[in-house]
Amino acid sequence: MALNVLRYLSFRNASALWVMVAIVLYFSYSIPETFLAARTWKSLLDAQAIVAITAIALVVPLSAGVFNLAIGAQVGVASIMIGWLLVPAGLPILVSVLVTLVASAAIGFLISVLIVGFRIDSFIATLGASSLLLAFVTFISGGRQILKMPRALVDFGTDRIFGLTYPFLVMLAIAIAVWYVLERTPLGRRIYATGGSLEAARLSGIHVVAIVVGAMTASGLLTGIAGALMTARLGNADPTIGPAFMLPAFTAAFLGSTQFHHGRFNVPGTVLSVYVLAAGVKGLQLSGVPTWVTDGFDGAALLIAVGLASAARSGSAKSLWRRFLRPRRTTLQIEAERPRPVGT
């Protein structure tokens, strides 16, 4: 048992955890009075909750083999939609939330119809959908923020129990639920199988169309929750925030896929990655580094983690270099097709 826990937490299996430890140790030493303040950590946990929900919403379709580039725009639509329903339309909170969640799930469903019904590659389908959704956001908001959210909503976005905000607790609940489905149920197994090989999954009797549609619909629902919470936290609906979620979500999902499951997209790794990156960026900000360093940190972390993981899968770093320096012989066939003189 103890051995299993140790193996689970080993550097090979969970390098991000150890990077987190290194980050905490370093900044605790260099800037102890600001980095170790409880305030810093409370705001960190809270501020990243919505990024984490968005990243989880991305893990679901990625696991099913769908590349959802619309994830940021979906959050943006939900965020502006709940603001519009509450203030200009003046609907009650419960109705607005329900309508937003149903509409968000419906958007995910419609995108999946583009993918499985019209057979558009998920990369293209979600790219196009993303642009359409952004146009829709500007259309209903007129490009302006929607201010003066109702008190009750703002309270939900900012109140704390035991020092933790509601958005953070909602994120935890979602993380546990999605983790359970993906890793403990037959449905999760089928989602991963579909993402692994569409044809092999189909020939194993898996209804791959239902899996893709379901994954995108669930992803849509989760972006609805993320968008509604975003508006609740800010106290207003901002038409520009959506796209800003895409990059951190992808970074966390891919970085997370190198953790715990050796290349499989997963929830614990993704949530951990969100917070490791945020802690690093926070420490750098508090140290007073120029602003460009923080962007560089995210990018470098992703490239290094994914690069090392794929090198580990394809052999040693040494063999990786060798492959670069001396390209492997191409296939027999290409070799054979080249006319060559006889008798050499």
Partner 1 sequence: MQDILLDVRRVSKSFGGNKVLDNVSFSVGRGEIVALLGHNGSGKSTLVKILAGAYSLDAGEIKHGAVGDVELHFIHQTLGLVASLTVAENLDLGLSHPWCGLMPVRRAQERRRIQAMLTKFGVTFSPDAIVAGLTAADRTIVAIVRALAGWKHGNHVLVLDEPTATLHGEEIDRLKGAVRTVAAQGAGVIYITHRLGEAEELADRAIVLKNGVKILEEARGAFTHDSLVRAIAGANAQTRSRRASPPRRSALLEVRGLAGASLRSATFHAREGEILGVSGLVGSGMERLNGAVFGAFPTSGGVVLVGGAPIALGSPRSAIRAGVAYVPADRRARASIGHFSARENLTLARMRDIRRPWGAIDRALERQEALAWMDRLRVTPGGQIEQAFDLFSGGNQQKIVLAKWLRMQPRVFLIDEPTQGVDAGAQTEIYELLVKAARAGAAVVVASSDTKELAHICDRALVMRDGAVSAELSGADISESALISAIIDDFSDARADCRVKPLRYV
* By CB under 8 A, residue 189 contacts partner 1: yes
* By CB under 8 A, residue 5 contacts partner 1: no
- Tell me the site size for partner 1, rule CB under 8 A: 34
Stretch that binds partner 1, among 83-91, 150-158, 189-197, 219-227 (CB under 8 A): 189-197
Least distance to partner 1, CB of residue 256, Å: 16
Site string for partner 1, 190-209 (x = CB under 8 A): x-xx--xx-xxxxxxxxx--
Site string for partner 1, 263-292 (x = CB under 8 A): xx----------------------------
Q: Closest CB to partner 1 among 263 and 299?
A: 263
Measured between alpha carbons, how far is 244 from 75 in angstroms, rounded to an integer? 10
Measured between alpha carbons, how far is 173 from 167 in angstroms, rounded to an integer? 10
* By CB under 8 A, residue 27 contacts partner 1: no
Site string for partner 1, 148-187 (x = CB under 8 A): --------------------------------x---xxxx
Q: Closest CB to partner 1 among 77 and 208?
A: 208
Are 215 and 63 in contact by the 8 Å Cβ rule? The answer is yes
Helices 246-257 and 71-86 meet at what angle, rounded to 10?
A: 130
Backbone phi, psi, residue 284, to 5°: -65, -40
Measured between alpha carbons, how far is 234 from 154 in angstroms, rounded to an integer? 8
Q: Residue type at 228?
A: A
* By CB under 8 A, residue 3 contacts partner 1: no
Backbone phi, psi, residue 181, to 5°: -65, -45
Least distance to partner 1, CB of residue 119, Å: 12
* By CB under 8 A, residue 245 contacts partner 1: no
Measured between alpha carbons, how far is 220 from 226 in angstroms, rounded to an integer? 10
**Chain centroid offset of residue 11 CA:** 22
Length of the chain counted residue by residue: 344
Q: Closest CB to partner 1 among 27 and 179?
A: 179
* By CB under 8 A, residue 300 contacts partner 1: no
* By CB under 8 A, residue 336 contacts partner 1: yes
Tokens of 186: 């037959």
The span from the first CA to the last CA of the chain, in angstroms, equals 64
Measured between alpha carbons, how far is 218 from 206 in angstroms, rounded to an integer? 18
* By CB under 8 A, residue 316 contacts partner 1: no
Which positions touch partner 1 (CB under 8 A)? 180, 184-187, 189-190, 192-193, 196-197, 199-207, 262-264, 332-337, 339-343
